[in-house]
């Protein structure tokens, strides 16, 4: 009897399947996925960069410059000391100080220097200190600095009001709870201060084509019940500063001198009567 031929046995190595090769999955093309991810991230970053650049360029175009005549008069007034800083313009009395200050926030895309003449008699006659802020990108809504960033420019002042013109006034309303009082110039609040207990004065114009008398009236409920509201006959939106006519506004019938006198008469006594909190 002969032994079986083991060369053709089904258990031999030559006939056995490769188990390792059968269980190995094909590698995934990870490189393509990463390229797509980086392309998406790069595109989003580029869009954000373009948007930011567009906002910066837009904020610098069409800024309404201060008229040189009224500004020159303020600079030449011996009763007013002017300090210019990156945060704002400080107008201080050279004589007796009333220990009362006003942080004044400009309207959108209006040169802060354009407001110096209209508030000058508050400084020269009433002894108030006025800090006119320099909003980031010329728009108060982009300026996230606290009120202390501006009151700190005149640390010796004890009582502070915050106020502003147009959109600057809207921003002032948002900062008002950190102040002793609020002064609105051709503006109104978008946040509710009706229960704040703050002393508030609002001065508007009968010919204002932007902060119209109707808009002022519609937002009245957002102010405390005892807020003082005054409408200056013949005043337009641009009457609150000295920067020329403004698109969408009406033609004023009040002179710049009379407008300054009205503002001083309405805001000065109010501000001097505000108690420190």
pLDDT tens, residue by residue, 169-221: 999 999 999 999 999 999 999 999 999 999 999 999 999 999 999 999 999 99
Query: Is residue 133 classed as helix, strand or coil in its secondary structure?
Result: strand
Task: Report the residue count for the chain.
Answer: 277
- Give how far Cα 232 sits from Cα of 40, 103, 205, 240, 259, Å: 56, 22, 5, 11, 8
Over the chain (277 residues), the average pLDDT of each successive run of 10 is 43 46 55 78 74 57 92 98 98 97 98 98 98 96 96 98 98 98 98 98 98 98 98 98 97 98 98 94
- Give how far Cα 182 sits from Cα of 155, 166, 188, 222, 238, Å: 19, 14, 11, 13, 20
Distance between CA atoms of 102 and 95, rounded to whole angstroms? 17
- Give how far Cα 68 sits from Cα of 72, 107, 116, 183, 241, Å: 6, 18, 11, 26, 12
Distance between CA atoms of 213 and 230, rounded to whole angstroms? 11
Give the strand pairing for 200-205 and 80-84: unpaired
Distance between CA atoms of 174 and 105, rounded to whole angstroms? 12
Distance between CA atoms of 258 and 143, rounded to whole angstroms? 32
pLDDT number for residue 8: 41
Distance between CA atoms of 82 and 89, rounded to whole angstroms? 7
């Amino acid at each position: 009897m002969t032994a079986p031929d083991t060369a053709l046995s089904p258990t031999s190595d030559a006939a056995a399947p490769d188990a390792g090769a059968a269980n190995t999955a094909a590698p995934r093309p990870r490189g393509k996925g990463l390229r797509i991810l980086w392309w998406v991230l790069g595109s989003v970053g580029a869009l954000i960069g373009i948007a930011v650049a567009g906002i910066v360029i837009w904020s610098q175009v069409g800024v309404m410059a201060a008229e040189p005549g009224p500004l020159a008069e303020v600079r030449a007034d011996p009763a007013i000391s002017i300090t210019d800083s990156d945060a704002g313009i400080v107008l201080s009395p050279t004589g007796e100080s009333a220990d009362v200050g006003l942080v004044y926030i400009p309207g959108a895309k209006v040169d802060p220097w354009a407001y110096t003449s209209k508030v000058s008699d508050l400084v020269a006659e009433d002894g108030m200190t006025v800090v006119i802020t320099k909003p980031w990108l010329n728009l108060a809504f982009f300026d996230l600095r606290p009120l202390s960033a501006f009151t700190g420019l005149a640390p010796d002042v004890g009582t502070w009001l915050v106020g502003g013109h147009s959109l600057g006034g809207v921003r002032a309303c948002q900062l008002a709870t950190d102040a002793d009082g609020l002064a609105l110039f051709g503006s109104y609040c978008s946040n509710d201060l009706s229960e704040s207990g703050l002393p508030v004065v609002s001065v508007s114009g009968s010919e204002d084509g932007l902060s119209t008398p109707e808009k002022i009236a519609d937002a009245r409920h957002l102010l405390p019940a005892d807020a003082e509201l005054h409408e200056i006959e013949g005043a337009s939106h641009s009457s609150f500063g000295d920067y020329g006519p403004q698109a969408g506004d009406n033609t004023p019938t009040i002179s710049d001198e009379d407008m300054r006198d009205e503002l001083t008469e309405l805001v000065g006594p109010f501000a001097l009567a505000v108690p420190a909190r």
